[in-house]
Amino acid sequence: MSMRISRVVFVIASFLIFSNSLYSQPWLENATDAEGKLNFFMIRENAEKYWENRPIEKGKGFKPYKRWEYYWQYRVNPDGSFPDSGITEKNWKEYLLRNQGKNRVNEANWESIGPSLTNGGYAGIGRVNCVAFHPTDPDIIWIGAPGGGLWKTTDGGATWITTFDQSVVLGVSGILIDPKKPNIMYIATGDGDASDTYSTGVLKSIDGGVTWQTTGLNWNVSQTRVIRRIIFQPENSSILFAATSNGLYRTLDSGENWTQVLTGNFFDVKANPNSFSNIVYAATGSTVQKSIDNGATFTIVQNISGANRIALGVSNANSGYLYALASNGSGNGFLGFYQSVDTAKTFTLKATTPNLLGWDSDGGDSGGQGWYDLCLAVDPTDPEVVYTGGVNVWKSTNGGTAWSLRTHWSGASGVQTVHADQHCMEWQNPTTLWLGNDGGIYKSTNGGVNWSDKSNGLIISQMYKLGVSQADAKVITGLQDNGTKLKGTSGTWNDVIGGDGMECAIRPDNASVMYGSLYYGAIRRSTNGGSSWTSIKPSNAGDGAWVTPFVLDPNASQTIYAGFKRVYKSTNQGTNWTALGSSNLNSSALNYLHVAKANSSVIYAGRGSSLYRTTNGGTNWSTMTVPGSNTVMLAIHPDDADMIWAVRSNYTAGQKVYKSEDGGATWINVSGTLPNLPVNCILFDESTNKDGLYIGMDVGVFYRDNDMEDWELFSTGLPNTPVFELEIKYDTDEIFAATYGRGLWKSVKKYNGTFCRSVSGITIDEMGIDSARISWSASDPVPVNGYQYGFSTNTTPPLNWSTSFTTEGIIYGLSSNSKYYFFVRSVCEESLVSSWQSAGPFYTQLTCDDISTDTGGSSAEYSDNENIIRSICPDIELHYISITFTDFDVETDWDALYIFDGKSTSDPMFSSGNPETDAGFPAGGYYGTDLPGTFTSTHSSGCLTLQFMSDGYVTGDGWEANADCIPECNATVLIDEDDGYGSFRNVVLCADPGQSIVFAPEMANDTIHLDSPVIIDQDMTIVPEGMTLTLQADHDHYIFEVLPGVTLTLGNISLIGGTGANQTRVILNRGNLQLLNVQIIDVLAGTGLGKTISNEGTLDSHGSIQISSE
């Protein structure tokens, strides 16, 4: 007898109770208690031993296990036993029944914000377990997700919708559509591959999926079962089969009654395409079984020794064919591919290589994760054409003898990149093959050569964590198996980090600075809005938890803390770290970490039943109490570091939320009448004076504050799916929820806060040598007391600032060639200001005597994915910049430095002659290790501009170059000063080889004072015509130094040497010196000290040469 389920059904992830579904895993062996029930602690102990000495590699099953462990580690009972199947649904319905008409916050208006778009390939949205097709309308297709429910498209996959957000089970592992009455549908609930959701049986719809009924296969309590596949008998849709972890089931009356026809752990079932044969095939982990009486009885027809899972394939083109793809129980790699051409009377082993279940493109690796992803499809027009799915897709055109790669998870020559871990392959028609994997749903219409990603529109992401920007519209989220995704200010989602995305955060005062992470604490940082990322995991920290906690200091956002076995602190955004305390806090990695806003020296860190507290910034730690095991998160009052709340993830009634007013020494239970469901997160609303708290549970968001006696449901519009993290965006009064199965959601808060809105869009309109002009977008509403703006040399907000009642300002007092951060905040009332918003780092222009370097400076390498532009301009009028490289190391053929003659990259380039780089950067750049040489500006501004571009992989030491100011050239000496336009030094420096220096008539009888030696590096004549002229050294050394191979002719001139007692005081000649009528005054002549002229070359004198001391 079936039971009716209402149209507004219940959407819950009854998450896996690691059942027979994974008995193929070695860590499940000997993991049962005295009653024969699986025990979490025993499973974890076995798994840790199994992986202890094995490498952690892609496609070997480690990550699926760790995902399972992360979910269940706090949801199991204190003794390690698993809660009853169906407990989430049962307890939720009991709560709703108890609280009909009350305890609901109607202000909630949750809406989905994705992600719903993907570029496909390596990237993805979420896992798809199964796909089914309407028998007559090719545009109607259904897919099932392990945590995202049932989805439907009516336009061939262009768009998708779900009506399952209030359904019985959020996980779907099989879908059937009656070929003659397509309004009749069946789904297998739960997750057959990884048991991410646990099955409550088979559901049936008679109105095309609008409403659903339970069937006779209806599991409710402690049965720890999953369903792997459901099928029809080909010509009789009243007959269905279900392969489950608890045997093979059959119904003869459209699901009204089911019979267990076989016991055991079954992974697949297929019907022979010839309906008159009455043949049905079924597979356990190591046997293939056959029935010739429509599934009434079965006989084992093939034992596959060493196998732990088998996938079956039949051919519509030839009903005699049956294929079996077997996973190896040792390592879960490829064991063998078997073929039968006589309806399973005999089998032939066709292949044991390559490794069809591994991750290498040539199949040369070992191992795999056949227990998790294993599927098989036979071409409906050719029984010899077969496709297999593991990590990748392989194809054979000769019945399995030879194989070719058809997709690869990360990119391989000759095949398309398609997301890893294949779970289903189904033919829609003779030419269209659909593929479901961990990233979404794909289809191919040309034999697997090309694949079209049809995932756009699905919202099935399983999110661990999120970070909301307080400065703009960005949100960053960490997804299971689909990396870290960033929602930009335009609303578009982008993939920024691959793998499994974990904890993430955005700096509240600078949205360009953000953090993401992968498992075990592989923390990464971006300072350019997510365009490029740098690994910043603390060295020697070891492995953190699967989801390693880190948090930004609420009072100094450049400071970040990370929790491993001890807490690490960085005051420069993760560049350098310091371990806090003298030893590890726990023998296992920490799972939560919080810093008090009232006092950043107060830090709480913990794991489950252990809580630690420091009141002096981590120097000393105290062990505090916890309200009970399974504690997963804290919230700290922003004005009182001793007032904290804790939540527990458990199935113990009335033990959900606790409050401590003494820093965790004692606790008060404030659970109220919350449903008996795990609590995953808690959030304090800092924008009101009500002490408002939000919690996220396995179903629903709840709210409570000081004016309320109990918790209220705050879930209008939100799917009944686990909420793993909550964050508030204060300037818009919005709350965001990261869900484990239905992506990211947002709603208005319960109460709008008293909040001074921050500015956004800080830009640097002009960066000079010693000043900057900045502007910003006005906050809304505009603050009555204007804005404060300032600068800092690091990410710490300024101590001094200026005030503006517009949206721009000019900052003075900067230094050349220096790094700065610029800050702006709103001033709403005298005591009410917004948080500082910042932009940076920015660099002032270089000028004379500065040293140009790459971003790594003189001691470190430049970074990946750079596109840096910096100008070098003179700070003296009538001068030009000249740079000379002293060190150079830029990755050959990939990265490049470009040099432009002017103030921007639109000015002419000093081209190297090199072609376009292999990374696609323009031709003309400099790379390698050869010094580029010297470059002097000829632009009217006197400036040079450098642009450096690097790709995403290899870096180098970069460069150093000295910047000098060269005076503007003039052909005639006009002034008696040592520097500047028209000076003697200026004219000498600008002279062409062999040129005679010309002196203006007004220079007659003048003395030109020189502050340093004049270097003669080309042939030159200095013979004033028709006048008397004196050159005087106002320093210790000589007036001229003549370089080797150079000729200097001096005549009709007086020279007054330097005053150095042990120096050469007039001329150091290393070339050819010709003197004609020269008078030399050397105050130390005849003293025997030093030399008047040091001649290391040739010297010729003519006419009168006089040397005197006065």
Question: Contact, 528 vs 519, CB < 8 A?
Answer: no
Task: Give the chain's mean pLDDT.
Answer: 91
Question: How many CA atoms are closer than 13 Å to the CA of 600, on its beta-carbon side?
Answer: 13
Q: Which of 11-25, 48-62, 328-342, 535-549 is the least confident region?
A: 11-25
Q: How does residue 59 score in pLDDT terms, banded at 50, 70 and 90?
A: low
971 falls in which pLDDT band (50, 70, 90)? confident
On the question of pLDDT at 21 being above 90, the answer is no
Check residue 50 and give its pLDDT: 84
Distance, CA of 979 to CA of 829 (rounded, Å) = 54
| Token pair for 189 | 């609930």
Provide the token pair at 826. 């709103």
User: Are 500 and 421 contacting, i.e. CB atoms less than 8 angstroms apart?
Assistant: no
The HSE-up count of residue 627 (CA atoms within 13 Å, CB side) is 26
pLDDT at residue 990 is higher than 90: no
The structure tokens 């044991």 sit at: 352
Q: Which residue has the tokens 């402690």?
A: 222
Give me the sheet containing 416-417, strands edge to edge: 375-378, 386-389, 393-396, 404-408, 416-417
CA angle, 561 then 564 then 570, to 5°:
25
Q: Which of 569, 593, 485, 560 is nearest to 530 (CA)?
A: 485
In this structure, are strands 299-303 and 307-314 parallel, antiparallel, or unpaired? unpaired
Mean pLDDT along residues 39-53: 87
Inter-residue contact 326 to 337 (CB < 8 Å): yes
CA–CA distance, 835 with 757 (Å, rounded to integer): 8
Q: What is the pLDDT of residues 1014-1056, one digit of tens each?
A: 999 999 999 999 888 999 999 999 999 999 999 999 999 999 9
The CA-based angle 268-269-274, given to 5 degrees, is 145
CA angle 116, 484, 574 (to 5 degrees): 155
Q: Which secondary structure element, helix H or strand E, spans residue 92, and what is its range?
A: helix 87-98
- CA distance linking residue 789 with residue 486, whole number of Å: 29
User: How much is the pLDDT for 831?
Assistant: 76
Closest CA to 1084 of 1051, 1105, 1056: 1056
- Comparing 11-20, 446-455, 846-855, 950-959, which segment has the lowest mean pLDDT? 11-20
Q: What pLDDT, on a 0 to 100 scale, did the predictor assign at position 660? A: 98
HSE toward the beta carbon, residue 486, CA cutoff 13 A: 28
Cis peptide before 932 (omega within 30 of 0): no
- Of the two residues 4 and 414, the one the predictor is more confident about is 414
Q: Which pLDDT value is given to residue 220? A: 57
| pLDDT tens-digit series, residues 557-605 | 999 999 999 999 999 999 999 999 989 998 899 999 999 999 999 999 9
For residue range 465-489, list pLDDT tens digits in order: 999 999 889 999 999 989 999 999 8
pTM: 0.76
Enter the tokens of residue 1034.
């106002």
DSSP 9: -
161 is written with which tokens? Answer: 């919708």
* Spatial separation of the C-alpha atoms in residues 311 and 306, rounded to whole Å: 15
In the numeric block, which tokens belong to residue 475? 């949100």
Cα–Cα distance, 112 to 718 (Å, whole number): 8
Quote the CA–CA distance of 570 and 552 in Å, as a whole number: 10
Confidence band, pLDDT 50/70/90 cuts, at residue 104:
low
pLDDT at 9 over 50: no
Q: With H, G, I as helix, E, B as strand and everything else as coil, classify residue 427.
A: strand
DSSP, collapsed to helix, strand or coil, labels residue 331 as: coil
Q: Which of 784, 707, 719 is nearest to 751 (CA)?
A: 707
Nearest C-alpha neighbor of 403 from the set 329, 452, 334: 334
pLDDT bin (cut points 50, 70, 90) of residue 832 is confident
Binning pLDDT at 50, 70 and 90, where does residue 129 land?
very high
Q: Beta strand 1047-1056 with 1072-1081: parallel, antiparallel or unpaired?
A: parallel
Nearest partner of 223 among 358, 86, 70, judged by Cα? 86
* Helix pair 40-51, 62-72: axis angle to 10 deg: 150
CB 667 within 8 A of CB 625: yes
How many angstroms separate the Cα of 421 from the Cα of each of 162, 267, 373, 425? 24, 17, 6, 12
Spatial separation of the C-alpha atoms in residues 1011 and 429, rounded to whole Å: 90
Residue 722 to residue 758: CA distance in whole angstroms: 32
Question: Can you tell me the mean pLDDT for 279-290?
Answer: 97
| Two structure tokens written together for 740 | 């484990």
Strand 998-999 relative to strand 972-973, pairing: parallel
DSSP string, 599-619: -TT-EEEEEBTEEEEESSTTS
The whole-number pLDDT of residue 5 equals 34
- Contact assessment for residue 373 and residue 391, using Cβ atoms and an 8 Å cutoff: yes
**Rg, C-alpha atoms of the chain:** 38
